[in-house]
């Protein structure tokens, strides 16, 4: 996970065509977990970063291709994944954990300490 | 083309349009349905020596993947479990459940020479062509 603030080509990259990976987002008391399908992306080709309040997930596809390959049927026709989410204020981007296993990214974002729900006791009068 | 008298909801109209376009371009669709958009997504390619199939099937246990080749027809099947416990779900787009995809390859493949590897969520199946079917250069004396 890296912070990118100085990349001149950031806008160019955002406009280049990319695959939109399907995601699941679930929430429990302590945070949010995001799962993203990124088949063909290895750890070193994955880039997860936060720009301000925006979460950016990017990955490059790397396949073993033999020589003289002639495509006959293509459903995945781009070699880059990109998806962007707006983070909400109750999440702490400093405490984010990313795991990549079998092409699935699991991203855990903890809630900020003050944002954890506190149960308010209701007393019978 | 006929147009409905009553405007219906937009998604139903798009569905209908998609079916019409499919019908216009695919004169005889496969009995197993429209090929695109299934899980896992498939790329198929060929070389003079082999057929190469890439199935984009992330998050699976390789031991639970079934790959079969019979008479040049390759099938890939398995099941993907849900990761949700009792947490609340905000976005739910990833495929869950049993899948089965079939792709017809050529007849000159050797069923004894199939190599399947699963890496980074991509199943790569490489099938060698039968030796007799490979192009041979004919020497001119």
Q: Where residue A45 sits, what CATH number does that domain have?
A: 2.60.40.790
Number of A/B CB contacts below 8 angstroms equals: 116
Burial level of B12, CB count in 10 A (0-12/13-18/19+)? exposed
Task: Tell me which chain A residues have a C-beta less than 8 angstroms from the C-beta of B95.
Answer: 22, 37
Q: Is A71 inside any structural domain?
A: no
Q: Is B119 inside any structural domain?
A: yes
Q: Is A42 inside any structural domain?
A: yes
Q: Is B140 inside any structural domain?
A: no
Task: Print the domain residue range for B52.
Answer: 32-83+95-132
- Which pLDDT band holds residue A115 (cuts at 50, 70, 90)? low
Task: Print the domain residue range for A57.
Answer: 16-63+76-115
Reported as a single tens digit per residue, the pLDDT across A15-59 is: 788 999 999 999 998 899 999 999 999 999 999 999 888 999 999
Q: Is B44 inside any structural domain?
A: yes
Q: Is B124 inside any structural domain?
A: yes
Task: Tell me which chain B residues have a C-beta less than 8 angstroms from the C-beta of A24.
Answer: 83-84, 89, 91-94
Q: Is A80 inside any structural domain?
A: yes
Q: Is A98 inside any structural domain?
A: yes
Domains held by chain B: number: 1
The answer on pLDDT for A1 being more than 60 is no
Given this model, what pLDDT does residue B2 score? 57
C-alpha B115/C-alpha B56 separation (Å) is: 16
Q: Is A11 inside any structural domain?
A: no
Q: Is B15 inside any structural domain?
A: no
Q: Is B65 inside any structural domain?
A: yes
**DSSP β-bridge partners for residue B118:** B123
Whole-model pTM: value is 0.77
Contact B133, B46 (CB under 8 A): no
Given this model, what pLDDT does residue B27 score? 58
In order of A18, A78, A80, B83, the CA distances from A15 in angstroms are: 9, 14, 12, 32
Element spanning B129, H or E: strand B122-129
Q: Where residue B122 sits, what CATH number does that domain have?
A: 2.60.40.790
Domains held by chain A: number: 1
pLDDT (tens, 9 = 90+) of chain B, 141 residues, equals 555 556 667 777 888 887 787 777 665 556 665 555 689 999 999 998 999 999 999 999 998 899 999 888 999 999 998 878 788 999 999 999 999 999 889 888 998 899 999 999 999 999 999 887 667 778 888
User: Cα-flanking dihedrals φ and ψ of residue B92, to 5°?
Assistant: -140, 90
| Token pair belonging to B105 | 């390859």
Verify whether the Cβ–Cβ distance B52 to A69 is below 8 Å: yes
Q: Is B111 inside any structural domain?
A: yes
Q: Is B137 inside any structural domain?
A: no
Verify whether the Cβ–Cβ distance A27 to B43 is below 8 Å: no
ipTM of the complex: 0.78
């Amino acid at each position: 996970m890296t912070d990118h603030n100085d990349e001149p080509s950031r806008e160019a990259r955002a406009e280049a065509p990319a695959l939109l990976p399907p995601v699941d987002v679930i929430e429990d008391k302590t945070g949010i977990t995001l799962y993203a399908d990124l088949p063909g992306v290895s750890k070193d080709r994955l880039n997860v970063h936060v720009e301000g309040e925006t979460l950016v997930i990017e990955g490059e596809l790397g396949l073993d291709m033999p020589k003289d390959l002639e495509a006959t049927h293509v459903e995945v026709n781009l070699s880059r994944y990109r998806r962007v989410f707006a983070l909400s204020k109750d999440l702490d981007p400093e405490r984010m954990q990313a795991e990549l296993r079998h092409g699935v990214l699991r991203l855990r974002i903890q809630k900020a300490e003050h944002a954890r729900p506190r149960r308010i006791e209701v007393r019978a009068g | 083309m006929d147009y409905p008298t009553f405007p219906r909801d937009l998604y139903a109209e798009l569905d209908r349009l998609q079916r019409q376009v499919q019908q216009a371009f695919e004169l005889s669709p496969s009995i197993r349905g429209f090929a695109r958009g299934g899980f896992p997504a498939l790329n198929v390619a060929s070389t003079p020596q082999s057929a190469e199939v890439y199935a984009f099937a992330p998050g699976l246990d390789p031991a639970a993947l079934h790959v079969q080749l019979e008479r040049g027809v390759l099938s890939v099947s398995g099941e993907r479990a849900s990761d949700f416990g009792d947490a609340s779900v905000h976005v739910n787009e990833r495929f869950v459940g049993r899948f089965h995809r079939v792709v017809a390859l050529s007849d000159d493949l050797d069923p004894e020479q199939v190599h399947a590897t699963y890496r980074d969520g991509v199943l790569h199946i490489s099938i060698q062509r039968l030796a007799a079917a490979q192009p041979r250069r004919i020497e001119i004396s």
